[in-house]
Amino acid sequence: MTEKAIVETAGAEVSKLPAPTQNLVVLARNPKEMMEAQAELKVWFQQKLEQIDAEILEANANIEQARKGHIRTGPFRRLSQELNRKRVAYEKALAAVEAGYFLIPDFPIEILCVRTSRKRPPTAIKSHKGYHSPHIPHVETNSPPLGEGKNVSQVPFAKEWTIGAGDSTTTLAKATEFDETLDFPFRVVKPQVMSELTRAAQLKIFDQIGFIRQARRDPMVIGQVVFKTPGRWAPDKIFNFLITWWIDTRDLLL
């Protein structure tokens, strides 16, 4: 198990950093091996949280010592903030595993809903010359902590209006509020699928939920934990979890 202890240093409590968590490569060929892999991942996420908690305690102790020594605290504060953001992501991933969702490889998904703790969608006005409707940016998750925020459609409610006339007409639009009514794209589906989708949304674990659909065969509903990577061009880190899937045997007919 990961070593964890508290030691006394200069009147402040800091943690003895745990040994690095061993990385895992998990694979499964049958349900039994999937359950074993899931158990290993649960322990791995628990150890990562213990390690990050120790690092946060260490960073906070450095902030306090820097303050006492009249040293700039900015670098230590940024480190503490980054560690706390990582902790939020790992906490959600562990909650997903404990709730029975299987971690799976990354897939591109069509998003059904995103979870956000923001009060309103971005209100910046987008304009477009001519008679075409302006583009309203999609709502993106801000990766709130476990249990916080609400699930909303990527497309918010918006209002449009025009100014000018003729060739000088400009159409303006502004997002006004979130749309909390989700549009499930499959009309013929078992109630159990809708029940699992509802359960996953209500748990408020996943930052976004979507589905994989290739040629309308074997759809899979996927929940994602999103870690927003700092930097404008850096891709986000995403953990994918299987919520449910189904097969229509009519698609198997030759």
Q: Is residue 1 part of a domain?
A: yes
Residue 183 in domain: no
Q: According to the model, what pLDDT value does residue 250 have?
A: 76
Residue 25 within a domain: yes
**Domain-located, residue 79:** yes
pLDDT band at 135 (very low <50, low <70, confident <90, very high): confident
The answer to the question of residue 186 being in a domain is no
**Structural domain harbouring 2:** 1-98
Q: Is residue 200 part of a domain?
A: no
Residue 174 lies in a domain: no
Whether the pLDDT of residue 128 is over 80: the answer is no
Taking only the tens place, the pLDDT of each residue in 46-76 is: 999 999 999 999 999 999 999 999 999 999 9
Query: Has residue 11 been placed in a domain?
Result: yes
Q: Rounded to whole angstroms, how far apart are CA atoms 214 and 142? A: 28
Question: What pLDDT does 139 receive?
Answer: 92
Highest mean pLDDT among 23-37, 110-124, 162-176: 110-124
Q: What pLDDT score was predicted for residue 240?
A: 96
CB-based contact 110:65 (threshold 8 Å): no
Rounded to two decimals, what is the model's pTM?
0.82
**What was the pLDDT predicted at 126?**
57
What mean pLDDT is predicted for residues 166-171?
A: 73
Sign of CA dihedral 104, 209, 226, 207: negative
Structural domains of the chain, count: 1
What is the rounded distance in angstroms from the CA atom of residue 45 to the CA atom of residue 52? 10
